[in-house]
Amino acid sequence: MTDTPRRPGKPPKPAEWRRWLGIVLRTAHLAGVVWMGAAYVGPAAPAVGSGGMAAGHSGALLVLVSGVALLLSEWFDGRIRLGELAGVVVLAKLAAVAWMALGGAGAQPLFWAVLVLSAISSHAPRELRHWPVLPRRAPER
């Protein structure tokens, strides 16, 4: 299938295969979040030496890779801009998950902070999500 024509004020819808790619990436992303949560706050979490944190690092790696792929996909489709609040939040979340994947300290509270930030930022009003954090460049003539 091909891309649909541009709708006024909205980015064009991606091709069908790109839509399915996004579904697969989001599914992997959610699986990674569950994997991280089980490792960082589940029953294995207090037993750091028993491999619970290593499992969290693997889940964080899945979240990081799928998150970067989702960001690139949405950026390419024009659904996210890095200079807007939503883009800045995504970059901050990816940095936090990278820290967790590298075994950085404070993974448990950081996991909860990223989870809460994700829920708030994804359900915030459109005007807030698209608020320009960085000044927009004037269009070239």
User: 93-127, pLDDT tens digit by residue?
Assistant: 999 999 999 988 888 999 999 999 999 999 999 99
Tell me, what's the pLDDT at 7? 54
CA dist., res. 74 & res. 92, Å (int): 16
Tell me, what's the pLDDT at 48? 45
DSSP annotation of 84 reads: B
Tell me, what's the pLDDT at 16? 87
Residue 51 tokens, joined:
């491999």
Give pTM, 2 decimals: 0.78
Q: How far is CA 116 from CA 19, 53, 111, in A?
A: 26, 21, 9
Give pLDDT tens digits for 13-24.
Answer: 778 888 899 999
DSSP annotation of 48 reads: G
Tell me, what's the pLDDT at 134? 80
Give pLDDT tens digits for 59-88.
Answer: 999 999 999 999 999 999 888 999 999 999
Query: pLDDT band at residue 45, thresholds of 50, 70 and 90?
Result: low
Q: How many other CB atoms are there within 10 angstroms of residue 45's CB atom?
A: 19
Over range 20-38, report the average pLDDT: 94
- Give the number of residues written for the chain: 141
